[in-house]
Amino acid sequence: MNENMPESIKYYAIALDPIHVGSGGSRLGRVDLPIIREPGTNLPKIPGTSLSGPARAYTAMVTNKYIWKDGNKEYCCSGRGGEGGEKHCGIPSPACPVCIPYGFSKGTGFSMQGLAQFFDAHILFFPVASMGGPVWVTSPMALEGLGLQQEFKAPEDAFYPLSDQIRDKQKLNFGWLMLNKANEQGDTSKLPDKIQIPDNIKQRSILVSDKLFSHIVNSNLEVRTSVSIDPQTGTAEEGALFTYEAIPRGTVFRFDIVYSSGKTFRISGKELKTEDGGDVGVTWVKNQVEKGLGLFETLGIGGMGTRGMGKLKILNLKKGDC
Ligand SMILES: [Zn+2]
């Protein structure tokens, strides 16, 4: 691998808890706290900033840069770094494992865009209960760019099985929706091996049209009701029941992160160097970010963390790297 060429890594992740990334909702909608959706498709998503924010905080925790002191200067490399970013250290050598991959801004002339660029996470497989057990649903759009071997024009009211386990089923009953197996079923409708998700999900996956996919996802989101707790008294606030949406446990996401080299960067005229004096290459940047990503499965992302939500396991992190 060329350490100076940007590298795009595709990550696969499964929700271990329901995930709530709020859109800052109002009381006008179906629920009080809706989740963020992609405008064009109406499908729920996790914005890149909702991935990079917690990843930054967790990398800072792992590398002891959350709040730290250098002499009598106090830095905080996680979060926004204070009002104007003045608490970000921005140290180029040895390169701060937080400020360099995730970027920093300490006012004019002293800022840097992160070397890791996060893209939105989209739903790849969505779990639905059927009478024959759970089934994971996907669509041509959800699989785009992943190399599905066959072009599908899925009929609106039918499914294509993507595994032998489902292949002998003629119908699937989702309780409120009955789907027939599509007639023109080719043998090549198989998920590419490079999609790194657990086999038990691959073996229970079906493909439906994009339109039906959006419909199935939006009809099967979790809607929960909760009670606001008054922080003063620790008791339920009167009339403070609220509802919120969440993407259910078992949902599989995909997202990309593009890692760039820091070799040509200068911060106040200084080159970026690693702890042992080497260049800040793509692998170094990736390793710092993956330290943070590895904590998604224990500390979670999104809102409602205290209500047992948000844990997201990245499925293709290399063991031992972090
Ligand atoms: Zn820093």
C-alpha–C-alpha distance, residues 3 and 89, integer Å: 25
- Compute the distance from residue 194 Cα to the ligand 1 centre, in Å: 35
- Compute the distance from residue 68 Cα to the ligand 1 centre, in Å: 9
C-alpha–C-alpha distance, residues 53 and 80, integer Å: 9
- Please give the average per-residue pLDDT across 111-127, as a whole number: 95
Pick the range with the lowest mean pLDDT from 136-145, 221-230, 235-244.
Answer: 235-244
Q: What's phi and psi for 247, nearest 5 deg? A: -80, 130
- Compute the distance from residue 92 Cα to the ligand 1 centre, in Å: 9
- Compute the distance from residue 103 Cα to the ligand 1 centre, in Å: 9
- Please give the average per-residue pLDDT across 107-117, as a whole number: 84
Which two structure tokens, joined as six digits, stand for 95? 């390169």
C-alpha–C-alpha distance, residues 127 and 138, integer Å: 9
Pick the range with the lowest mean pLDDT from 189-198, 202-211, 278-287.
Answer: 189-198
Residue 86: the pLDDT is 82
Residue 234: the pLDDT is 65
Residue 296: the pLDDT is 97
Query: What confidence category does residue 303 fall into, taking pLDDT thresholds of 50, 70 and 90?
Result: confident
Say which residues have a Cβ less than 8 Å from residue 294's Cβ, sequence separation at least 6. Answer: 58, 314, 317, 322
| Residue 170 burial (10 A CB sphere; 0-12, 13-18, 19+) | exposed
Give the single-character DSSP code of 293: H
Query: What confidence category does residue 74 fall into, taking pLDDT thresholds of 50, 70 and 90?
Result: very high
Closest CA to 214 of 40, 19, 15, 72: 40
- Please give the average per-residue pLDDT across 198-217, as a whole number: 91
> Angle at CA 247, nearest 5°, toward 157 and 226?
125
- Compute the distance from residue 58 Cα to the ligand 1 centre, in Å: 13
Q: Residue 139: is its pLDDT beyond 60?
A: yes
- Compute the distance from residue 97 Cα to the ligand 1 centre, in Å: 7
- Please give the average per-residue pLDDT across 12-34, as a whole number: 81
Give the single-character DSSP code of 33: B
Q: Residue 322: is its pLDDT beyond 50?
A: no
- Please give the average per-residue pLDDT across 198-216, as a whole number: 91
- Compute the distance from residue 70 Cα to the ligand 1 centre, in Å: 11
- Compute the distance from residue 274 Cα to the ligand 1 centre, in Å: 13
| Statement: the pTM of the whole predicted model exceeds 0.85 | yes
CA 75 to chain centre: 28
Residue 175: the pLDDT is 73
Which two structure tokens, joined as six digits, stand for 58? 């967790």
SS (H, E, C) 75-140: ECCCCCCCCCCCCCCCCECCECCCHHHHEEECCCCCEEECCEEECCEEEEEEEEEECCEEEEEECC
- Compute the distance from residue 87 Cα to the ligand 1 centre, in Å: 8
Residue 25: the pLDDT is 60
Residue 321: the pLDDT is 45
Residue 140: the pLDDT is 87
- Compute the distance from residue 67 Cα to the ligand 1 centre, in Å: 9
> Angle at CA 210, nearest 5°, toward 193 and 122?
60
Residue 26: the pLDDT is 57
- Compute the distance from residue 64 Cα to the ligand 1 centre, in Å: 10
- Please give the average per-residue pLDDT across 164-187, as a whole number: 79
pLDDT tens-digit profile of 227-284? Answer: 776 666 666 666 678 788 899 999 999 999 999 999 988 888 899 999 999 999 999 9
Say if residues 7 and 298 touch (Cβ distance below 8 Å).
no
Say if residues 144 and 152 touch (Cβ distance below 8 Å).
no
Structural domain spans, the chain? 7-119+248-314
Q: Residue 302: is its pLDDT beyond 60?
A: yes
- Compute the distance from residue 84 Cα to the ligand 1 centre, in Å: 14
Closest CA to 310 of 295, 298, 300: 300
- Compute the distance from residue 277 Cα to the ligand 1 centre, in Å: 17
